[in-house]
């Protein structure tokens, strides 16, 4: 990869770090781990995206916002390649992204799979206390398995009494 290509790819990553997720606008698509790769091709840049799940209603908007950001940064032309395998995991959220979630009032996910665990689940998931993103109390309860989007659940802190969402580990 030439220096010009490397700097163009680096510039694309910088531009994409400013593209906010439409459902969780505290995070960029880079923080969320949706951008898997940025590649230089003969006909322009190729941005590889993995949606959070195959039916995500924001996928087309995210793709367009990614292309718009690349063009606005003067790096076009570009195209998006959607890669669904391996499936997106909440483990792909950056540490910076988890910090931003807490600051936004959403409890970030823990590890989707503990080390050595197998991804096949034949029984229900284990539930663990989700610390409150506002006061850090571990004394919380789940109010609903679903929050404002399918990837979040609704909880309440038993100490500060504030409701909050938890980004589910998947």
Residue 12 belongs to domain with CATH number: 3.30.300.130
Report the candidate in 133, 170, 165 with the shortest Cα–Cα distance to residue 152. 165
117 lies in some domain: no
147 lies in some domain: yes
Residues 107 and 60 in one domain: no
Residues 99 and 163 in one domain: yes
Q: pLDDT, tens digit, for every residue of 6-29?
A: 699 999 999 999 999 999 999 999
Angle at 167 between CA 117 and CA 138, to 5 degrees: 85
Report the candidate in 59, 70, 56 with the shortest Cα–Cα distance to residue 17. 70
H or E segment to which residue 157 belongs: strand 152-157
Residues 55 and 103 in one domain: no
φ, ψ at 143 (rounded to 5°): -95, -35
87 lies in some domain: no
Residue 125, pLDDT > 60, answer no
Q: Where are the alpha helices (DSSP H) in 18-74?
A: 59-72
Q: What is the pLDDT at residue 129?
A: 83
- Percentage of the chain beyond pLDDT 90 is 74
Q: What is the pLDDT at residue 153?
A: 92
Residues 47 and 106 in one domain: no
Q: What is the pLDDT at residue 36?
A: 97
H or E segment to which residue 35 belongs: strand 35-41
13 lies in some domain: yes
Q: What is the pLDDT at residue 122?
A: 46
Number of domains present in the structure of the chain: 2
Residues 32 and 78 in one domain: yes
Residue 151, pLDDT > 80, answer yes
Contacts of 25 (CB under 8 A, 6+ apart): none
Q: What is the pLDDT at residue 119?
A: 54
Residue 123, pLDDT > 50, answer no
Residues 38 and 76 in one domain: yes
Residues 99 and 78 in one domain: no
Report the candidate in 32, 65, 78 with the shortest Cα–Cα distance to residue 170. 32
44 lies in some domain: yes
Q: pLDDT, tens digit, for every residue of 64-117?
A: 999 999 999 999 899 999 999 999 999 999 999 999 999 999 999 988 866 666
- Domain, as residue range, for 17: 3-82
Q: What is the pLDDT at residue 54?
A: 81
Report the candidate in 92, 42, 45, 101 with the shortest Cα–Cα distance to residue 69. 45
Q: What is the pTM of this model?
A: 0.76
Residue 120, pLDDT > 70, answer no
| 155 in Cβ contact with 165 (< 8 Å) | yes
Residue 44, pLDDT > 80, answer yes
| Higher local confidence (pLDDT), 37 or 125 | 37
163 lies in some domain: yes
Residues 10 and 77 in one domain: yes
Which residues, listed in sequence order, are joined to residue 48 by a DSSP beta bridge? 37, 81
């Amino acid at each position: 990869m030439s220096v010009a290509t490397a700097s163009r790819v680096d510039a694309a990553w910088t531009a994409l770090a400013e593209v906010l997720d439409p459902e969780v606008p505290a995070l960029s698509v880079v923080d969320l781990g949706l951008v898997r790769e940025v590649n230089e091709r003969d006909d322009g840049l190729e941005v590889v995206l993995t949606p959070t799940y195959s039916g995500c209603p924001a996928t087309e908007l995210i793709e367009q916002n990614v292309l718009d950001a690349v063009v606005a940064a003067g790096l076009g032309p570009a195209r998006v390649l959607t890669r669904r395998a391996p499936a997106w995991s909440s483990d792909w959220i950056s540490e910076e992204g988890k910090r931003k979630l807490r600051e936004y009032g959403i409890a970030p996910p823990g590890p989707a799979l503990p080390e050595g665990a197998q991804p096949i689940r034949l029984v229900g998931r284990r539930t663990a206390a989700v610390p409150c993103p506002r006061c850090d109390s571990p004394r919380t309860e789940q109010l609903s398995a679903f929050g404002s989007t399918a990837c979040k659940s609704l909880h309440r802190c038993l100490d500060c009494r504030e409701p909050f969402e938890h980004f589910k580990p998947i």
